[in-house]
Structure formats: C-alpha cells, structure tokens
Chain A
Amino acid sequence: MTDNAQNSDTEDDNWGVLGELPGDFMMWVLIASELLVFGAALLAFVAVRATDVTGFAADQQQLNQTAGAANTIVLVTSGFFAALAVSASAKFQKTRARVMLAAAMTLGLVFIGVKGIEYWQKAEAGIGLDSSPFFTFYYLITGFHAAHVIAGIVIFALVSYFDDKRNIETAAAFWHMVDLVWVILFPIIYLVR
C-alpha cells in the first residue's frame, strides 16, 4: 500500500460513524439543523394550541385540507423523481438525470402554485399573519417551508447545469429534507384537532 493510500484510509477511519452517513456530510448537518428548527416550531405550535384548543380548531377549519393533502402527494412524487435523478447520475445517464430533475422541479412549482392559491384564498377572506395565534404559526411555518421549496427548485436548476454526481446527490438530499418536513408539518397543522 502506498503512503497516499494509507493516508486516505486513515482519513476515512477518522470520520468514524460520521463516515457512514450517505452523501455530503455538511448536507446532513443542514438537514439536522432544519429538522431541529421545524421540530421546535411544531412543538411550540402544539403547546400554544393547548392554551386555546377551540380557537385553533375553528381556525384550522378554514384551511384547505384537500389542497394540503394534494401537495403532500405532489411533494413525495417530486422526491421520487429527485431520487431517480441521483440513481441516473450514478449510472452516468446525464440526460435521464436532467429529465428527472426537470420533473422534480415542475412538481415543486406545482406545490408552490397550490400554496399560493391557499394564501390567496386566505387573503381574500381577510386572514393574515396577525389574525390569530394559529394563523401566525400557519404563515410562519408554511411560509418558511415554501421558501425552502423555492430554494430547492433554484438548486435543482443549478445542478441541472453543473450536473456531476455529487452535486445532484447533495441537491436531492436538500429536497428530501424539504419533503420530510412537509410530511410531518402537514398533519400537525392541517389535521390535528
């Protein structure tokens, strides 16, 4: 074994269990951070709900559950295409990877479109950020999440151009985190009453 190979082995060993994480380590730091932020926000939401169960239930009735449920299917399907893009990229199928990223981005735009309709309907009904504690949480949490969806779409557009395997894998990991947050966020804000 050469010195370089020995050094490389030693560096890999130094990562310990951290080296077991798939993909880019820093992306996992980001994923953990984002999960902590959204997790804390959702716990705060449920804690404040406990002080006004009736008020939260009445406000929740004004949400469009069908739109939220549809968006769940849109986002998990988008995540599926992102995972397929990673798989294609690993096999050096660049065109297929780009097509899969385009499909993921399109569904991301559909998600934002549906979310926009939801916000527009609320605005039409005179419901804003300061209408009630429920809607303050609703706008802050779903708005922060929607900002991540938009960021994910931009990142996908970038890695469609700079399309090496590592870039696509890292972008997809970010997208799956956004997907993961939504599947937890949706039932808590839209359904729990």
Chain B
Amino acid sequence: MALRTLTQAWITLVVLSVVTTGLTLVSEHGTSRKLLIAVILAIAAVKARIILTRYLNLSQSPFWTRVFDIIGTVFFALLYGIYLVGGAA
C-alpha cells in the first residue's frame, strides 16, 4: 500500500476518533441520544472498514471487501437494534 494512502487512512482514523470523542460531550436524551449513538456506531463502522481496506489491504479484492461490508452492516444493524430494544439511558 502506498505511503500516501496509508497516511490518508491514518489521518482519517485519528480525525474520526476525535469526532467520536467530541460527540460524547453532547449530552442528549431520548430520540436525540438514539440518533447520537447511531452516528457513533456508524463512525466505528467506517473506521473498521478503513482498517480492513487500507491497513489490511483488503481493497485489492472487491469480493472480500463486499463480504466484509455485508457482515459489518448486519453486525452494526443488529447491535443498534438490540440497543433500541433496551432504549437510551
């Protein structure tokens, strides 16, 4: 993987981590909290995809990128669905 691509991936991961931390400072309840958690989980999914495709170089295989995209989407959807069943604190 080219240095430029890896550096871009790293910067994106750091920026997304900072954004996630910033979002946790927002104190919301009810529907807004549920939306906030959806955003935080979506950011985590994006970060996981960057690690898979850039650091682990999975982007060289469109087939496996798609497989991990599907599994990741199902996992995070399931996770968020269970979260909604419990509700926001």
By a beta-carbon cutoff of 8 Å, the part of chain A in contact with chain B is 17, 20-23, 31, 39, 42-43, 46-47, 49-51, 53-54, 56-57, 65-66, 69, 72-73, 76-77, 79-80, 82-84, 86-87, 172-173, 176-177, 179-180, 183-184, 186-188, 191-193
Q: Find out whether the CB atom of B79 lies under 8 angstroms from the CB atom of A183.
A: no
Q: Tell me whether A184 and B64 are in contact in the complex, defined as CB-CB below 8 angstroms, given that A46-B79, A80-B10, A179-B55 are known contacts.
A: no
> Which A-B residue pairs are the 6 nearest by beta carbons?
A50-B86, A57-B89, A20-B61, A80-B10, A76-B13, A22-B57
Which of B10, B41, B51, B82 touches A47 (beta carbons < 8 Å)?
B82
Give, as a whole number of angstroms, the nearest-CB distance from A46 to chain B: 5
Q: Find out whether the CB atom of B85 lies under 8 angstroms from the CB atom of A50.
A: yes
Which of B6, B63, B78, B87 touches A43 (beta carbons < 8 Å)?
B78
Tell me if B48 counts as interface (CB < 8 A to partner A): yes
Specify the main secondary structure of chain B where it touches its partner. helix
Q: Find out whether the CB atom of A53 lies under 8 angstroms from the CB atom of B86.
A: yes
Within 8 A of A (CB), among B24-50: 24, 33, 37, 40-41, 43-44, 47-48
Q: What would 29 A/B residue contacts be, using CB atoms closer than 8 Å?
A: A17-B61, A17-B63, A20-B63, A21-B64, A43-B82, A53-B89, A56-B89, A69-B17, A69-B20, A73-B14, A73-B17, A73-B18, A79-B51, A79-B55, A80-B9, A80-B10, A83-B1, A84-B6, A87-B6, A173-B56, A176-B56, A180-B56, A183-B13, A183-B17, A184-B44, A188-B44, A188-B79, A191-B40, A192-B83
Q: Find out whether the CB atom of A46 lies under 8 angstroms from the CB atom of B82.
A: yes
Tell me if B70 counts as interface (CB < 8 A to partner A): no
Q: How many B residues touch A, CB cutoff 8 Å?
A: 42
CA A66 – CA B20 in complex, angstroms? 11
CA A125 – CA B89 in complex, angstroms? 23
Tell me if B60 counts as interface (CB < 8 A to partner A): yes
Q: Which residues of A contact B24 (CB under 8 A)?
A: 65, 191
Q: Which residues of A contact B60 (CB under 8 A)?
A: 20, 22
Q: Tell me whether A83 and B6 are in contact in the complex, defined as CB-CB below 8 angstroms, given that A51-B86, A176-B55 are known contacts.
A: yes
Q: Find out whether the CB atom of B88 lies under 8 angstroms from the CB atom of A193.
A: yes
CA A20 – CA B41 in complex, angstroms? 29
Give, as a whole number of angstroms, the nearest-CB distance from B64 to chain A: 6
Give the nearest-CB partner of A39 in chain B: B75
CA A192 – CA B78 in complex, angstroms? 14
Question: Which one of B54, B56, B61 has the highest number of Cβ atoms from chain A below 10 Å of its Cβ?
Answer: B56
CA A56 – CA B41 in complex, angstroms? 18
Q: Find out whether the CB atom of A22 lies under 8 angstroms from the CB atom of B61.
A: yes
Q: Tell me whether A43 and B52 are in contact in the complex, defined as CB-CB below 8 angstroms, given that A51-B86, A84-B6, A183-B44 are known contacts.
A: no
